């Protein structure tokens, strides 16, 4: 830490905690933080974080599933420092550009699914979703179809917290207390709800039925994550996305793939849609594009969509002052270079398989554990509520955090435990994660008399 930064942060642990309690409003939390719930980090290295009291935490969430390469990689930190020295800011407004933004766009065109060739930079997933929603409506209005603006999403989805993204997020708590939602959105069920038996064509039929209910002449787009992560990590049937692609083509509906959480290697492919051999019309990217060291997101689109966006040669009045920041773009290029040079994506696929094998072995010994599922480096297991009751799950989450000092994802209101760890996780790291899970489960089962 530099002397200047050290001086600026020169408060005691108690003073820092009090500053957090008194002045910071935390996302998705009650406004007034309590001291016994406050965990404030000072440093991080690899897959571990250290708080201001010196306690080390194993981050099996990878931050917000975005710290792909772990904390504190010196080579990437140097890229940020060098880029700041070279060009600390550069706008993309008014046709201006920067070297990193141009070179990154060229690289993205090379690695994204076939057809995705042009990129609109934003700061994060929510504003990238907003951008995509405006694009799919704008291209229809500008091309003489002002009624074709409706967007279909899926229930138990997550697309962000801004107004349009909240409307598209199919999760009722996201809608509480904000008044009327934006109009022109509707939702269908996730594939595992429509067809628990795994019939992809049946699951995709829900989309066609909704298009016909609204009217094809009114539907602009279908926006969805390639796999259902907020619902508890469900991988769709192999024939689901190919069938969705056919339906969208038949009714002239744009398919927007939200790869914010699953892109850049999370699923064992560079992008999740690659598992099904299909390409979207627009694709949302963020999180692991910079391994979370700097804010950046992008909306990828086909040349056809870009051409429609340019209808009549009018300007698309939209943008963000820091969108495509040169430092963020330089860091993204360096991050992608690490993915490729170190074979991160393939390694993540193999270690992810090893992780699920470990959890399934654990489930054979513990009646409180239910189904284990996932793909690549994104995994979850259910709590067997029919065996242990609804209170077991929240108690287990609390035990994992407070006693094992490990962060995991809470799905289904505590009834599923999820993992989105850094892609650099090794088999030895997996063994440590599974060991901590086993200790926590054993303790909670003993407390509750589960045999």
Q: What is the pLDDT of residues 216-252, one digit of tens each?
A: 999 999 999 999 888 899 999 999 999 999 999 999 9
Domain locations along the chain? 39-72+344-447, 75-341
Lowest mean pLDDT among 223-232, 236-245, 350-359, 431-440: 223-232
Lowest mean pLDDT among 122-126, 135-139, 175-179, 316-320: 175-179
* 306/178 Cα distance (integer angstroms): 33
Helix H or strand E segment including 192 = helix 191-194
pLDDT above 70 (res 348): yes
Q: Does residue 274 have a pLDDT over 70?
A: yes
Q: Are the C-beta atoms of residues 204 and 196 closer than 8 Å to each other?
A: no
What confidence category does residue 147 fall into, taking pLDDT thresholds of 50, 70 and 90?
A: very high
Q: What is the pLDDT averaged over residues 284-294? A: 97
* 333 Cβ contact list (under 8 Å, min separation 6): 100, 103, 104, 107
**Mean pLDDT to the nearest integer, 73-81:** 97
**Tokens in use for 123?**
């700061």
Cα separation, 336 vs 350, in Å, equals 19
Mean pLDDT of 360-366: 97
130 against 312, higher pLDDT: 130
Question: 75-341: which CATH architecture?
Answer: 3-Layer(aba) Sandwich (3.40)
Q: Name the more confident of 177 and 397.
A: 397
Enumerate residues 6+ apart whose C-beta is below 8 A from 281.
115, 221, 248, 254, 255, 256, 301, 302, 304, 305
Q: Is the pLDDT of residue 38 over 90?
A: no
pTM score of the predicted model:
0.95
Average pLDDT in the 303-318 region?
88
pLDDT-derived band at 106, boundaries 50, 70, 90? very high
Quick one: pLDDT at residue 330?
Answer: 98
**What sign has the CA pseudo-torsion 257, 216, 162, 135?**
positive
Give 148-178 as a DSSP string.
--EEEEEBT----SSHHHHHHSB-GGGGTTS
Other CB atoms within a 10 A radius of the CB of residue 325 amount to 26
CATH number for the domain formed by residue range(s) 39-72+344-447:
3.90.1150.10
What pLDDT shows up at residue 178?
80
CA 66 to the chain's CA centroid:
7
What is residue 311's predicted lDDT score, i.e. its pLDDT? 82
Whether residue 113 has pLDDT greater than 70: yes
Average pLDDT value for the chain = 94
Which range is least confidently modeled, 43-57, 110-124, 170-184?
Answer: 170-184
Read off the pLDDT band of 389 (50, 70, 90). very high
The percent of residues above 70 in pLDDT, for the chain, comes to 99
Main-chain phi, psi angles of 123, to 5 degrees: -100, -35
How far is CA 239 from each of CA 132, 204, 236, 244, rounded to the nearest angstrom? Answer: 26, 9, 8, 9
Is the pLDDT at 34 greater than 80? The verdict is: no
What is the per-residue pLDDT for 165? 87
- Provide the pLDDT confidence category of residue 1 given band limits of 50, 70 and 90: low
- For 3, 44, 81, 336, the CA distances from 329, given in Å and listed in that order, are 28, 23, 13, 11
Spacing of C-alpha 314 from chain mean position: 33
């Amino acid at each position: 830490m530099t002397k200047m930064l050290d001086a600026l942060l020169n408060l005691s642990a108690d003073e820092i905690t009090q500053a957090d309690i008194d002045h910071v409003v935390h996302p998705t939390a009650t406004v007034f933080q309590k001291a016994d719930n406050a965990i404030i980090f000072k440093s991080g290295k690899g897959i571990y974080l250290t708080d201001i009291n010196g306690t080390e935490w194993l981050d099996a969430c990878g931050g917000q599933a975005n710290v792909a390469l772990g904390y504190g990689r010196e080579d990437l930190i140097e890229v940020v420092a060098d880029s700041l020295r070279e060009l600390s800011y550069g706008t993309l407004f008014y046709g201006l550009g920067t070297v990193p933004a141009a070179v990154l766009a060229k690289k993205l065109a090379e690695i994204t699914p076939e057809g995705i060739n042009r990129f609109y930079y934003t700061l994060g997933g929510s504003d990238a979703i907003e951008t995509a929603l405006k694009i799919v409506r704008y291209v229809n209005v500008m091309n003489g179809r002002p009624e074709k603006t409706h967007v279909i999403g899926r229930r138990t989805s997550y697309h962000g917290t801004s107004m349009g993204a909240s409307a598209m997020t199919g999760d009722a708590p996201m809608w509480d207390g904000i008044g009327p939602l934006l109009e022109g959105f509707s939702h269908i069920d996730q594939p595992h709800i429509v067809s628990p038996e795994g019939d992809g064509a049946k699951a995709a039929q829900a989309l066609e039925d909704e298009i016909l209910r609204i009217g094809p002449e009114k539907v602009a787009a279908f926006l969805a994550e390639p796999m259902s992560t907020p619902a508890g990590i469900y991988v769709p049937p192999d024939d689901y996305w190919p069938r969705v692609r056919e339906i969208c083509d038949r009714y002239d509906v744009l398919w927007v793939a939200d790869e914010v959480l699953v892109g850049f290697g999370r699923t064992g492919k560079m992008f999740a849609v690659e598992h099904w051999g299909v390409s979207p019309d627009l694709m949302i990217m963020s999180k692991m594009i910079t391994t979370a060291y700097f804010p950046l997101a992008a909306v990828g689109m086909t040349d056809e969509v870009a051409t429609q966006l340019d209808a009549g040669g009018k300007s698309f009045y939209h943008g963000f002052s820091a969108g495509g920041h040169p430092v963020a773009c330089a860091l993204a290029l360096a991050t992608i270079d690490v993915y490729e040079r170190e074979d991160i994506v393939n390694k993540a696929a193999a270690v992810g398989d090893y992780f699920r094998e470990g959890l399934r072995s654990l489930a054979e010994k513990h009646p409180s554990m239910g189904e284990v599922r996932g793909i690549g480096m994104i995994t979850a297991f259910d709590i067997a509520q029919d065996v242990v009751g609804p209170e077991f799950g929240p108690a287990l989450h609390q035990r994992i955090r407070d006693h094992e000092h490990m962060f995991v994802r809470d799905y289904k209101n505590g009834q599923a435990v999820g993992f989105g760890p850094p892609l650099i996780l090794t088999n030895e790291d997996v063994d440590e994660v599974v060991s901590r899970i086993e200790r926590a489960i054993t303790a909670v089962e003993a407390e509750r008399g589960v045999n």
